[in-house]
Amino acid sequence: MTSKSLSDNKPVGVIGAGNFGSAVANLLAPQRDVILYARDEKVIHQMQAHHEIRGHKMRTNVQPTNDLEYIARECDVLFPIVPSAHFRGMMKQLSPHLHPYHILIHGTKGFDITLPEGQTLENTRKLNRSQVKTISEVIKEESVVVRVGCLAGPNLAKELAAGQPAATVIASHFNEVINLGKRLLRNDRFQVYGNNDLVGVELAGVLKNVIAIAAGALSGMGYGENAKGLLISRGMVEMVYLGRALGGNTTAFLGIAGVGDLVTTCNSSLSRNFNVGYRLAQGETLAEILASTDEIAEGINTVQIAKKCADYYKVRAPITGALYQVLFEDLTVKEALQYLMRYPLNVDIDFL
C-alpha cells in the first residue's frame, strides 16, 4: 500500500527539538496536535514541567517524546528537522517504523556525503553528484516513504518563534505534499508557497549558507552596504552555477528558498552562518568558534563540499574557493577580499 486516506484528527510529528524544529512545532499546533521528538532528556523534562524549550514557550498541545517508534505510529505526517550530519543515522533508526503511506517534509539545509572507505571530507580532493546527496534523497534511500518534501526559505527560528511575518516554500514532486504543507503551516503571519523542483529548492537552501558566512565576514570587517550588495549578487550567480551542475533548476534560486533566504541570512546576526563569518573577521579561528558553541552552522561543511564539487565540475566559484581557504587553510579574510576584488570577471549575468 503506497497511500491511505490521511486523517485530519491524527497528530503531526516533528523530529528534532532545536530552535527551528521547536518553531515549526508551534506553527503546526494551531491546526493539529503535535508530537515533538527530542533526544535530550533535559528537553523532555523541561517540556513536561514548564512546557518550554530553552526559555521559549511551547503551545500546550505540543507533546514531547523520545520514542521514534511512537511518533511514527501516531503520526502519518512527519517533519524531520535535524542537522545533516545526523540525518542519515536518524533515518536508519526511524525507517523500520515507517510505511509507504507516511509523508515526510524535512527542514534540514545540508548535504549528506558518501565516501569510499578510508576517505574523509578533509582528504578528498573532489566530489561528484553521486557522492553528494540532498536530504530528500537520504529519506528515499533509507526508507520506503514515497511522498517526500522539504521546507525552505527565510525562516530564522527566533523571528518565527516571536510570530513575526515570514514565508517558506514547500517543495515536492507531489502536489498532495505541497497542498498538505500549506494547510498545516499557513497562517495570517506565515505564507507558504509551493514548488515542484524539490532538488533545486534543497540546493538553494544549502548553498546560500556559504554566502551567508562571507556576508558575516564583510560585516565583521566593518564594510557597508555596497560591499554586501556586491557579495549577494555575485553569490547568487555562484549558487546558480553550482546548483545547475548538481541538478537544480535556475528558477528555484530566484524564489523564496534562493534569493529570499540568501538576502535574509546575509543581513542577520540571528544567522549562525553569518556569525561564523563575523567572528572569523574579528580574528577568531574556526577551532575557537566551534569550541564555543553547541549549535551547528551547516555552512561550514557546505563550504568544503561546494568547493570540491566546483572543482570536479569545473564550475567558477571564486567566493566559495576563497572562503574555503579562509576556513581550512591560512588565508586571512582581508586577503580573501583583496583576491575577490581582483578576480577577472566583467560579465554581470550570463545564466539566463
pLDDT tens track for 277-327: 999 999 999 989 988 877 777 889 999 999 999 999 999 999 999 999 999
Q: Identify the residue with better confidence: 56 or 172.
A: 172
Interacting residues of 92 by C-beta distance below 8 A, sequence separation 6+: 142
pLDDT at 98 over 70: yes
**pTM for the full predicted model:** 0.92
How far apart CA 181 and CA 202 sit, in angstroms, is: 16
Among residues of the chain, what percentage have pLDDT more than 70? 95
Taking alpha carbons only, the member of 96, 36, 104 closest to residue 69 is: 96
Residue 22 pLDDT greater than 50, yes or no: yes
pLDDT tens for residues 164-197? Answer: 999 999 999 999 999 999 999 999 999 999 999 9
- Percent above pLDDT 90 for the chain: 76
Q: What is the pLDDT of residue 299?
A: 87
Give the active site residues: 208
User: Do 236 and 259 form a contact (C-beta atoms < 8 A)?
Assistant: yes
For the chain, helix (H) and strand (E) counts, in that order, are: 15, 12
Cell numbers standing for residue 340? 575577490
Of the listed ranges 63-67, 86-90, 107-111, 248-252, the one predicted with least confidence: 248-252
239 has a pLDDT exceeding 90: yes
Q: Is 195 left (phi over 0), alpha (psi -120 to 50) or beta?
A: beta
pLDDT at 344: 62
Would you give the distance in Å from CA 63 to the centre of its chain? 24
- CA–chain centroid gap for 258, Å, is 12
Which domains, ranges and CATH numbers included, belong to the chain?
Answer: 12-199 (3.40.50.720), 208-342 (1.10.1040.10)
CA angle 251, 257, 262 (to 5 degrees): 105
Average pLDDT over residues 152-175: 94
Dist CA 170 CA 146 (whole Å): 16
Which pLDDT band, with edges at 50, 70 and 90, does 9 fall under? confident
| Mean pLDDT rounded to a whole number for the chain | 92
More confident residue, 344 or 113: 113
The stretch 24-46 carries a mean pLDDT of 94
Q: Given its phi and psi angles, is residue 51 left (phi above 0), alpha (psi -120 to 50 degrees) or beta? A: left
pLDDT mean over 244-258: 93
Looking at residue 339, its pLDDT comes to: 84
User: Does position 217 have pLDDT exceeding 70, yes or no?
Assistant: yes
The residue-averaged pLDDT of 73-88 equals 96
C-alpha cell at 130: 553521486
List beta partners, residue 168. Answer: 192
**Residue 1 pLDDT:** 38
Query: Taking Cα atoms as reference points, which of 76, 207, 186 lies closest to residue 134?
Result: 207
